[in-house]
Structure 1
Amino acid sequence: MKLASTIRTIPDFPKPGIMFRDITTLLGDAQAFTLAVDELVGAFAGTDIDKVACIEARGFILGGAVAHILGAGVVPLRKKGKLPHDRISSAYQLEYGMDIIEMHTDAIESGERVLLIDDLIATGGTAMAGIDLLKRGGAEIVGAAFVIDLPDLGGARRLEAVGIKVVSLVGFDGH
């Protein structure tokens, strides 16, 4: 099975010129979902991972499944104002705007080994904000994994430039 064939492309969403890569079709296909989770886990086989940090919202679905298989805890990285306890924030530039993600201050214990998961990497802004939060929390980042990479936007290269191992399962040209 080719995972790319299970991902729907929606032109001009959320604005003209953007080709939105929608993984809800992959998530709804039991075989594709299982394959994606297995490949994400397999990319870090033999790596000691304490927690999986998941970026809202589709990253929660993937990261929760990956954490379950790895026997790791889950750290939700959420949009501003969604976490109820003491938190730290990191602002970032999207390819079509600005946003902020937050993490509870007690989500990571110093020295914990953390894998970052999201559905897609484009410019790398969201992932870099997540890495910033995790490092500020004391985490050792073991890698970042995505179902989709948009290599033309350079996000994976941006993470690799700061020493983060990046794994992606499918690449799509363009935006």
Structure 2
Amino acid sequence: MHLLNENDKTFLLHSIREIEDFPKPGIKFKDITTLLGDTNAFNLLMDHLASRYENQKIDYIAGIESRGFIFGAALAARLRTRFVPIRKPGKLPYTTISEKYSLEYGVDEVSIHIDAFSGVAHPRVLLIDDLIATGGTATAAVKLITKAGATCVEACFVMNLTFLQGDLDIKKMTSVYSVLEV
């Protein structure tokens, strides 16, 4: 399996802009729009992910709203497989199933169409998003994939904020891969 060397990781990391105090004081927001706008960085990332997953027999790629849609759809096109959006409630037009998860002060929810993985026996799904922080949304997404009758073979993130340890709960359910760890 193709691995990125340290120079490639450094290049990708430097293609991501950091915004101080956004969305609130003390937060250092990782802005991936600069990576998306850099042809070399985006293609390096997508080539790497395509190489990693090309022989994994992935039936679907599920992307978490909204930045997971960008990476997931692009990777699904490269792998010539299907893409499934995982969205906030009320955003999908057909019958959905949902999974709730706790926030620091409340509850949120993610949804997919009830038939998202129909058409393939024993579907194998790759979950993808831009960033793993506390892990609540991604953990709920893995549970949702399972609830929909599929197997989440791996949860993939462009970046893991390791100090928040959001990947620990996900690792209890599936394999986790992060391109960059900060």
1:74 & 1:128 partners in 2: Cα distance? 19
Q: CA deviation at 1:94?
A: 4.7
Question: Aligned runs of 1:116-127 on 2, under 5 Å?
Answer: 116-127=127-138
**Aligned match of 2:175:** 165
Q: CA deviation at 1:89?
A: 1.2
Q: Is the 8 A contact 1:123 1:155 kept in 2?
A: yes
2:115 & 2:90 partners in 1: Cα distance? 17
- Report which structure shows greater RCO (CA 8 Å, sep ≥6): 1
Deviations 1:6-45 (A, max 9, x none): 0011122222222111101000101111111122222224
1:156 & 1:82 partners in 2: Cα distance? 26
Which consecutive aligned stretches of 4+ in structure 1 deviate over 6 angstroms post-superposition?
Answer: none
Q: Is the 8 A contact 1:43 1:167 kept in 2?
A: no
Q: In the alignment, is residue 40 of structure 1 matched against residue 40 of structure 2?
A: no
**Aligned match of 2:4:** none
Classify the secondary structure of the residue corresponding to 2:53: coil
Classify the secondary structure of the residue corresponding to 2:167: helix
**Aligned match of 1:21:** 30
1:103 & 1:39 partners in 2: Cα distance? 27
Indicate which of 92, 99, 108 corresponds to 2:108.
99
Assess, with a 3 A threshold, how the Cα gap between structure 1 residues 58 and 95 changes in structure 2: closer, same or farther. Answer: farther
Q: CA deviation at 1:95?
A: 6.4
Which one-letter code corresponds to 2:178 in the other structure?
S
TM-score (norm 2): 0.88
Deviations 1:119-169 (A, max 9, x none): 00011111111111110000111101111100111112221123x111111
What is the aligned-residue RMSD (CA, Å)? 1.6
**Aligned match of 2:145:** 134
TM-score (norm 1): 0.91
Assess, with a 3 A threshold, how the Cα gap between structure 1 residues 128 and 77 changes in structure 2: closer, same or farther. Answer: same
Q: Using the aligned pairs only, state the percent identity.
A: 50
Assess, with a 3 A threshold, how the Cα gap between structure 1 residues 59 and 6 changes in structure 2: closer, same or farther. Answer: same
Which structure is larger by alpha-carbon Rg, 1 or 2? Answer: 2
Question: Aligned runs of 1:136-151 on 2, under 5 Å?
Answer: 136-151=147-162
Of residues 46-55 and 36-45 in structure 1, the stretch that sits farther from structure 2 once superposed is 36-45
Q: Which runs of 5+ in 2 are unaligned?
A: 1-7
Assess, with a 3 A threshold, how the Cα gap between structure 1 residues 93 and 38 changes in structure 2: closer, same or farther. Answer: farther
